[in-house]
Structure 1
Amino acid sequence: MDLKVLNLAGWFFSVCLFFSCSSSSQKGEFLSVHPDNPHYFMFRGKPVILTGSTEHYGAVLNLDFDYVKYFDELAARGLNVTRTFSGIYVEPKGAFGIRGNTLAPDSGRFICPWARSNEPGYAAGGNKFDLNSWNPEYFSRLKDFVAEAAKRDIVVELDLFSNFYDTLQWKLSPLHYSNNVNGTPKVTDHREVLSLKHPELLEIQEMMVRKIVEELRDFGNLYYEICNEPYFGDTLALRQWEDHMTRIVVDAEKDMEPRHLISHNVANLKKKVSQPREGVSVYNFHYAAPPVAVGMNYHLDFPIGDNETGFNGTDDETYRKEAWNFILAGGALFNHLDYSFTVGAEDGTFAVQKDQPGGGGRALRDQLGILAGFMKQLDFIDMKPVPDGVARIIGQEKVSVRGLSDDRRTMVFYLDGNETPGTSALLEINLPAGSHRFTWVNTTTGGQTVNEIRGHQGGWLMLNSPLYMTDIALRIN
């Protein structure tokens, strides 16, 4: 055999093997749906539940926000997901009664995918935008944001779009005809912006999506949500547009390997999705308390998330309970909207006032970290929601119980409520025969109480919990 041919063949094989191994290794680093249990994620080769407490989505588009300090705080609390907006949507000062709103940058401090022109007149200060010119500073900041998150094992949910709730937000968008030098259509009805009605606007949106997807192609700690809350306004037009934009992302990544997950924000509270949507792997809900959205959509065999909280007061208890209930119902993602993160308080020390639309603060983040640590100790990839009839509370009608089980070898339960705070609850569980170890977890401090029962004959077993105020968790091994 010709030695040159042999050497060439060997070289070719080595190159193919290198790229094959490289691609396989990279795929393992990317956030994906877990192959053994599609209700959960896999990230960097391990099963993961995403738990977060996120600033109000302006960390990238607001030049004054120090996201490194912000990520340090999330990581210190054991949290692993954040949510941010692309910059096509921005809010005015005072929107929704939010103090220190990161989505409302100071004049001249808003950055987005498009470069500024030489012509003054942008509604929120500074020059208008040139939609024919990308802004390299923006993409540098966006990539650094995702890279800094990756260093701390934090996953980024990037919302490519957000619903324009009224003309106030639309009039601040770079796409609004008064804010750019490109002569975009004079659309006065904000409900028509995210639709298929205006081809010129649609083309600009498509180009932005393709540009972002290309710039972020190598980041594994990332998934895309097409649009935040696309269910206000002309809902039929929004659904058609959302499906169209989903196809744009899919097409933009068709030659990429691996590819990023795509999320749809389905509804506030709950809604049944009858069958999986093409190209969609994550189904997110807002304010999903009680967590009925999980059970309604468990048949989809994809991760279900609760990726925004709020409009239910500012008490830590409210959002701690929402988190535990959602994850113990079988949810894969919980992300609290945390108003204690502001410019100048990127460590989350801004004091949230009672008139804010939601809560936040270090105490709550610590409590969410307890939940994250509780789940991390479990082999949850083998778990599924415990069916009715396995556990019940005796004597307290207002206390609920829900849990997960891996064929009853390991079971976890969450007790929500206590009609007499500071007392114990009576929990009855149908357990298999054998010895069992019970670990009760204080959801506010992380403190544990452990006891064991040996030689259980099988069937119903009565347990007295430790004293607790409003909620408590239990792990049974």
Structure 2
Amino acid sequence: MKIRCMKMLSMKMRGLWIILLMIFSFALKAQDNNTFQLHPDNPHYFLYQGKPTIVVGSGEHYGAVINLDFDYKTYLQTLGKDQLNNTRLFTGAYVEKLGDFGIQKNTLAAADGRVILPWKRAAESGYTLGGNKFDLNQWDEAYFERLKNFMQLSAENDVIVEVTLFSAHYANGWNYSALNPKNNINQTSEIPSAKVNTLDNGNILEHQERYVRKIVSELNDFDNLYFEIQNEPWAEAPDLVFTRNEFGPEEDWRSQTQVVSQKSNAWQRTVAEWIKDEESNLPKKHLISQNISNFDYPITDPDPNISIFTFHYAFPKAVYQNYYLDRAIGLNETGFAGQADSTYRRQAWRFLMAGGSLFSHLDYSFSVGSEDGSDTAYEAPGGGSPAFRDQMSILKTFFEDLDFIALKPDFQTVLGSPGAYNLTLSDGESLWIIYVEPVAIKSQSFILDLPEGEYQAEWKDVESGKSLGMMTVEDNHLKVPEANGDKVVVIRSR
């Protein structure tokens, strides 16, 4: 009798264990679906909060947390109101000085005494940008409170944050870094800036590792983020791989494709390993992004820890060249092409219609005192405006209204597009999307190659989002509306 009771108890315990395991598995699955991740059915796109997600942003110049004068609550509410879902955030290893890069209202360049970094200030004066030096062995809890509050408000406004850990230091940036020996009391190694983000950086490496692990652990509770290792690594440790004449003289950076040197790339792989290792015993696992180059580049020897590859000022072929990798491709910085909204709108449509899944515009209408993005009188090497954000909202909503997870780049359907450039996405069966940029006064009918059947087409103006009318596809010919400007057509089988 006693043995029988023990067996029954054992069976009950086993049943209870199975139920608890099922509950845990369900909770884990729910958590995974909530955390920003690659979409399991099409890893070129994302899954977030259990929904297919495409990332479209137009945000401030990355200093929302480190600049104490910046009202990030108003800023994030503005992004939420504008229905945009991305912002880029530099976390403190790199800062700027007012006037750098010709930006007169630079959120990355805080006023004297108004910068806050992950490290606590020491008692010794002498920080290059004013105030006391930093003690790299002590964390500033006020910074982390501000960082986590920023992340919480971002989540409440449906904003996904690119948490950028490091950056190239360009001409003078290393002079302002807390890791520079003249800005801390910890006797970090005296090295040239080109060696900072390499494995050959003396004792700075151990401080970089502590910083990365601290940021990663502090932010683990949040679903709405991914980590980017370093902004523009090619800017201080470059390998020149290609020279073009599309933008000017060969010595101009816009005429060159530069990628990060092998020494710096080895360091980036190490940083990715720190992130993975730190999260190995934490509940949430976040995506890691690597910034590859300006314009485009066929990625070689991709790090398996990287899920998102990003480019600056990118061409559509940045997506095409790397589509086979089955990972997300993003354009996460724009600029140096004037202030016209149309320039960056076309850039956004081109990139996402090539199969990209992330477009993040650098929007200079946001600054201290203009956290609602209303300043259109800024002096900066780029664009941004409330009108542009409206156009980006139209773009994001356009994709969200489609079954975009099934879409892939399509090079077969449009046989001819007289008077216009085009980019096409389709599911190959019942849905085709064609983005059109007219280059002639009047475009002619497109010549298509669709499977046999009947098709309905709706044209939309991408600037206003208004419908330009419905029509049928006749004998694989599609009439282009006479309306000026770029437009998009959705073709569905009937």
**CA–CA separation in structure 2 for the residues paired with 1:467 and 1:158:** 44
Pairing of 1:37-436 with structure 2 (within 5 A): 37-166=42-171, 168-187=172-191, 189-234=192-237, 235-288=261-314, 290-353=315-378, 356-388=380-412, 390-394=414-418, 396=419, 399-420=420-441, 423=442, 425-436=444-455
**CA–CA separation in structure 2 for the residues paired with 1:465 and 1:314:** 29
1:164 is aligned with what amino acid? H
Q: Deviations over 1:204-223 (max 9, x none)?
A: 00000001111111211110
Q: Could you tell me which of 24, 29, 35 is aligned with 2:29?
A: 24
**CA–CA separation in structure 2 for the residues paired with 1:392 and 1:55:** 40
**CA–CA separation in structure 1 for the residues paired with 2:60 and 2:412:** 37
CA contact (8 A) 1:195 1:241 kept: yes
Q: Deviations over 1:268-294 (max 9, x none)?
A: 001111343120000000000x31100
CA contact (8 A) 1:23 1:258 kept: no
Q: Could you tell me which of 449, 457, 469 is aligned with 1:438?
A: 457
* Structure 1: runs of 5 or more not aligned: none
Displacement of 1:352 = 4.0
Relative to structure 1, is the Cα distance of residues 197 and 55 closer, same or farther in structure 2, using a 3 angstrom cutoff?
same
CA contact (8 A) 1:27 1:257 kept: no
Give the SS at the match of 1:266: strand
Relative to structure 1, is the Cα distance of residues 430 and 10 closer, same or farther in structure 2, using a 3 angstrom cutoff?
closer
Q: Deviations over 1:375-432 (max 9, x none)?
A: 11110111111114534212x2xx3101100114111111123322xx5553222223
What is the TM-score normalised by the length of structure 1? 0.93
**CA–CA separation in structure 2 for the residues paired with 1:133 and 1:4:** 53
- 1:468 corresponds to 2:483: yes
**CA–CA separation in structure 2 for the residues paired with 1:94 and 1:183:** 29
State which drifts further: 98-107 or 270-279: 270-279
**CA–CA separation in structure 1 for the residues paired with 2:285 and 2:120:** 28
**CA–CA separation in structure 2 for the residues paired with 1:204 and 1:275:** 28
Displacement of 1:4 = 6.4
Displacement of 1:6 = 6.2
* Structure 2: runs of 5 or more not aligned: 238-260
State which drifts further: 132-141 or 9-18: 9-18
Measured on the aligned residues, the alpha-carbon RMSD in Å equals: 1.7
Displacement of 1:5 = 5.5
1:198 is aligned with what amino acid? N
**CA–CA separation in structure 2 for the residues paired with 1:4 and 1:393:** 74
What is the TM-score normalised by the length of structure 2? 0.90
Give the SS at the match of 2:214: helix
Displacement of 1:257 = 4.0
Displacement of 1:80 = 0.8
Give the SS at the match of 2:43: coil
**CA–CA separation in structure 2 for the residues paired with 1:247 and 1:307:** 23
CA contact (8 A) 1:275 1:300 kept: no
Relative to structure 1, is the Cα distance of residues 199 and 21 closer, same or farther in structure 2, using a 3 angstrom cutoff?
farther
2:294 is aligned with what amino acid? N
CA contact (8 A) 1:79 1:372 kept: yes
**CA–CA separation in structure 2 for the residues paired with 1:350 and 1:269:** 28
| Identical counterparts, % of pairs | 42
Q: Deviations over 1:231-278 (max 9, x none)?
A: 123323211111111111111112234410000000000111134312
Relative to structure 1, is the Cα distance of residues 389 and 452 closer, same or farther in structure 2, using a 3 angstrom cutoff?
closer
**CA–CA separation in structure 1 for the residues paired with 2:469 and 2:301:** 43
CA contact (8 A) 1:264 1:284 kept: yes
**CA–CA separation in structure 1 for the residues paired with 2:210 and 2:403:** 42
Give the SS at the match of 2:478: strand
Displacement of 1:225 = 0.4
* TM superposition outliers: structure 1 runs of 4+ over 6 Å: none
Q: Deviations over 1:36-57 (max 9, x none)?
A: 1111111111111100101100
State which drifts further: 266-275 or 101-110: 266-275
Question: How many residue pairs align between the two structures?
Answer: 464
CA contact (8 A) 1:391 1:401 kept: no
CA contact (8 A) 1:31 1:44 kept: yes
**CA–CA separation in structure 2 for the residues paired with 1:229 and 1:433:** 48
